[in-house]
Amino acid sequence: MAPSTSAPRTAAPRTSAPRLKNALIWVFGALGGILWGYDTGVISGALLYIKRDLPMSPLLEGMVVSGLLVGAMLGAGLSGRLSDSWGRRRLILAASGVFILGTLGASFATHVWMLIVFRFVLGIGVGIASVVVPLYLTELAPKHVRGGLASLMQLLVTVGIFLAYVTDYLFHDSGAWRWMIGLGVVPAAVLAIGIITQPESPRWLVGKGRGDEARRVLLQLRGDGAAAGAELAEIEETVRTERAQTESLTFRHLLAPKLRPVFVVGMLLVFFQNFVGINTIIYYAPRLLTNVGFGDSGAIIATMGVGALNMLMTLPAMRLIDRKGRKPLLLWGALGMCAAMVVLAVTNLSGLGYGALLSTLTLLGIGLYIASFAVSWGPVQWVMLPELFPMRLRAAAVSLCVIFNWLFNMAVALVFPSLLDTFGAGANFLFFAVMTFLAFVFVRKLLPETKGRSLEEIEQDLLRGTADPAGAADSAPVSSGSSATP
């Protein structure tokens, strides 16, 4: 008890120092989200001008966009094992180097295949960031604000997308798509410099037998010796319990009866996040808008507004996710997205000619859709995935789910230009309206609530089989409470 009682006395006079250190951890830890958002968003406006220098068919256009997503699958696949062996912080540093290499290569591409290859390299960095950054933030955050802090990465993803749209607008007169892509080097360099100064995950340190370092990190994060000691003891007890098991946890356990339900829930979560149509808006908004009568300049300006709305609506999500819970946000978000897709489908299938009415209704539909997604499905998936799985295979399980996340993302991005040319926007929006309704049903019937529970509590319930991953036990009180949510 001596370290616990003495630590607060030494830390108390410097309460502002731990707060500053915590702020830097969240900023630099989540800065990978800006790179993720920038590199996925910048291509939407750049495509309008790339095609003037590097002619491409709808299929090649889809490959330029989805090349990043194929790389993201590889990066996500590598992340589980590497984050367990290298550590979360060191892997984030490596990802920043990959971002720099891919950005420079794509910005100097002289052929469409060169652009696809370096977009693939960029994707490796995006895939690594998509796994290890939420893992890093989840394992450093105190449980009562874990959702808000972990969703900081999603906020920065939207910031990155917005900055990409602004960059597209600033260079649209000159059509300088190489500068649009190349400026992504700036946040990559900031991430590389900043993450060097940040601590490692205390949960990873305990798993490597470095308990003293974990205690120092927790004291730095919590600013209270007693709280740090209690959390360290909880983590150490979880690690001891896992190591005492006669059979170590592997991917086989994800398919065993005890963990199969939560694995299926995790997979459905990433499936629906992609097949509700968000990727078509983020990657192809300028093209969708030019198809309904906008000029190139007007489409990019409107897309910039979409990016601003996406960013701003993520802010209330960060506050609500720990107050109202994960499920209510997903349910209301799915309803809003469904309504928006119905509006877009009806507008485009009704035969309205180009004009102010068609443009206004299209912008309203896209705005409602983006606002609904940003306040719900955007941040909640990345908060919930690390919460669902036991610690010993958390990195590997999240990595597997994120691989499929990028696979689903790639499938939508690759085929959408061809589907748009073949069937038009209306039929595609109708399909996404159906998918958003199914997403609502999935959340209501299957998804558990994880709000306000420590990672160790969730893990122990899952391992003992006392939790109901399908949501019958955990979500019942949430459902009754959430029905009054405005």
Question: What six digits make up the tokens of 202?
Answer: 């205390």
Q: Examine residue 16 and state whether it is found in any structural domain, yes or no.
A: no
User: pTM here?
Assistant: 0.72
Rounded CA separation 461/483 (Å): 26
| Tens digits of pLDDT across the chain (486 residues) | 444 444 444 444 445 556 666 677 667 766 777 888 898 888 888 888 898 888 888 888 888 988 888 898 888 888 878 888 898 889 999 999 999 999 999 999 999 999 999 999 999 998 888 778 877 877 777 766 665 555 666 778 888 889 998 998 899 888 889 999 999 998 888 888 888 888 888 888 988 888 888 888 888 777 777 878 888 888 888 777 766 653 444 666 667 666 777 788 888 999 998 898 888 888 777 777 877 667 777 888 888 888 899 888 888 887 788 788 888 899 999 999 999 999 888 887 876 656 677 778 888 888 999 999 988 888 888 778 877 776 666 767 777 887 888 888 888 888 888 887 777 778 888 999 999 999 999 998 887 777 766 656 655 555 554 444 434 333 333 332 322 222
Rounded CA separation 62/310 (Å): 23
Q: Contact 64/390 with Cβ under 8 angstroms?
A: no
Q: Examine residue 2 and state whether it is found in any structural domain, yes or no.
A: no
Report the candidate in 218, 220, 205, 226 with the shortest Cα–Cα distance to residue 2: 226
Q: Examine residue 350 and state whether it is found in any structural domain, yes or no.
A: yes
pLDDT at 242: 62
Question: What six digits make up the tokens of 438?
Answer: 């199914």
Q: Examine residue 138 and state whether it is found in any structural domain, yes or no.
A: yes
Residue 446 belongs to domain with CATH number: 1.20.1250.20
Name the domain count of the chain: 1
Q: Examine residue 434 and state whether it is found in any structural domain, yes or no.
A: yes
Q: 175 exposed, middle or buried (CB, 10 Å; 0-12, 13-18, 19+)?
A: middle
Q: Which residues span the domain enclosing 412?
A: 23-198+245-472
pLDDT at 267: 87
pLDDT at 353: 57
Is the dihedral angle over the CA atoms 63, 68, 73, 74 positive or is it negative?
A: positive
Rounded CA separation 411/335 (Å): 24
Q: Examine residue 4 and state whether it is found in any structural domain, yes or no.
A: no
Long-range contacts of range 461-466, CB-CB < 8 Å, 24 or more positions apart? 462/258, 462/259, 462/262, 462/389, 462/390, 463/258, 463/390, 465/258
For residue 57, give the H/E element and its range.
none
pLDDT at 204: 87
Q: Examine residue 225 and state whether it is found in any structural domain, yes or no.
A: no
Q: Examine residue 217 and state whether it is found in any structural domain, yes or no.
A: no
Rounded CA separation 95/79 (Å): 10
pLDDT at 13: 43
Q: What percentage of the chain's residues is helix, strand, coil (to nearest 5)?
A: 80, 0, 20
pLDDT at 354: 62
Q: Contact 18/232 with Cβ under 8 angstroms?
A: no
